[in-house]
């Protein structure tokens, strides 16, 4: 279902992004990779770029072809670099790239955002998430964090809360909806990637170990990539504004505990 499609994938130098790019190519897609570091694997095309600033996003967009079939927003930070950088990459940069790419996506194309089970709390923090996702453009994130009293330890979960809320909003925004562009998310739990140790530092061993224990093992990049690429495909043409929990049942377990059923 991906043969002949052109897919833009961010974060291709390692982890989930690298496996997604590899599998997409095996399934017949032409992959354009984006990362701050060059990948070790061969890609049809690679753009070395940084989505942590408006200028960085604009430079990436300038180098893209006129037509794309899908965008997979895989690049992300663990939160260990502070809240401003984390929000800049995981939400504001990702959103800016999606908006810049939208005119190049074919009608019926797709955007897939890699969120996280860490964004589970968006409902409990809805007012804050609504305020922050309503900020237009690419703000001064340091200033924004100070104005809203945001703490460094909140960076990663907050970025994923915002991403999940925006995914649902974007699915119905004219920029995407008027051309039939689907916007969906996947939410992994703990995944054995090079930054898992960083998550342990940011979220704590107890949280990570508890999540792994609930489902029996950590995920792998090979567990997540097929879900991303399914949402890129025409097989997902009637899925829009959804969040696919690719976590071995972790969200279901948390729901059972939180909701008491």
Query: Which residue ranges make up each domain of the chain?
Result: 6-259
pLDDT > 90? residue 202: no
pLDDT > 90? residue 195: no
pLDDT at 107 (0 to 100): 96
Dihedral class, residue 136 (left if φ above 0, else alpha if ψ from -120 to 50, else beta)? beta
- What is the separation of C-alpha 60 from the centre of its chain, rounded to a whole number of angstroms? 17
Residue 138 pLDDT grade (very low, low, confident, very high; cuts 50, 70, 90): very high
Percent of the chain predicted with pLDDT > 70: 100
Residue closest to 16 by CA, chosen among 156, 157, 115: 115
| CATH superfamily ID and name for 6-259 | NAD(P)-binding Rossmann-like Domain (3.40.50.720)
Q: Average model confidence (pLDDT) for the chain?
A: 96
Query: Catalytic residue numbers?
Result: 156
State mean pLDDT over 215-228. 97
Query: Which residues on neighbouring strands pair with residue 10, listed in sequence order?
Result: 34
Report the half-sphere exposure of 130 (CA within 13 A, side-chain side). Answer: 5
pLDDT tens-digit profile of 141-159? Answer: 999 999 999 999 999 999 9
- What is the separation of C-alpha 214 from the centre of its chain, rounded to a whole number of angstroms? 23
pLDDT tens-digit profile of 64-97? Answer: 999 999 999 999 999 899 999 999 999 999 999 9
Contact criterion met (CB below 8 Å) for 84 and 138? no
Residue closest to 207 by CA, chosen among 160, 155, 157, 255: 157
pLDDT tens-digit profile of 3-62? Answer: 999 999 999 999 999 999 999 999 999 999 999 999 988 898 999 999 999 999 999 999
Sole residue written with tokens 């915002």? 162
């Amino acid at each position: 279902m991906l043969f002949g499609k052109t897919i833009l994938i961010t974060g291709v130098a390692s982890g989930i992004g690298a496996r997604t790019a590899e599998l997409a190519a095996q399934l017949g897609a032409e992959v354009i990779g984006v990362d701050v570091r060059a990948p070790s694997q061969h890609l049809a095309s690679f753009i070395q770029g940084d989505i942590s600033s408006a200028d960085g996003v604009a430079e990436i967009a300038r180098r893209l072809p006129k037509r794309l079939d899908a965008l997979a927003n895989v690049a992300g930070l663990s939160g260990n670099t502070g809240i401003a950088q984390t929000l800049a990459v995981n939400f504001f940069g990702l959103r800016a790239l999606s908006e810049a790419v939208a005119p190049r996506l074919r009608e019926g194309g797709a955007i897939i955002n890699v969120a996280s089970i860490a964004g589970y709390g968006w409902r409990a923090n809805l007012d804050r998430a609504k305020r922050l996702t309503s900020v237009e453009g690419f703000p001064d994130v340091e200033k924004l964090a100070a104005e809203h009293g945001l703490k460094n330890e909140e960076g990663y979960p907050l970025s994923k809360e915002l991403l999940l809320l925006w995914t649902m909003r974007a699915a119905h925004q004219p920029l995407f909806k008027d051309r039939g562009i689907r916007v969906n998310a996947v939410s992994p739990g703990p995944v054995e990637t090079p930054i898992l140790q960083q998550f342990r530092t940011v979220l704590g061993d107890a949280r990570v170990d508890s999540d792994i224990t609930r489902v029996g093992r950590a995920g792998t990049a090979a567990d997540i990539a097929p879900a991303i690429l399914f949402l890129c495909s025409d097989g997902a043409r009637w899925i829009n504004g959804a969040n696919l929990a690719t976590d071995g049942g972790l969200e279901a377990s948390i729901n059972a505990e939180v909701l008491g059923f």
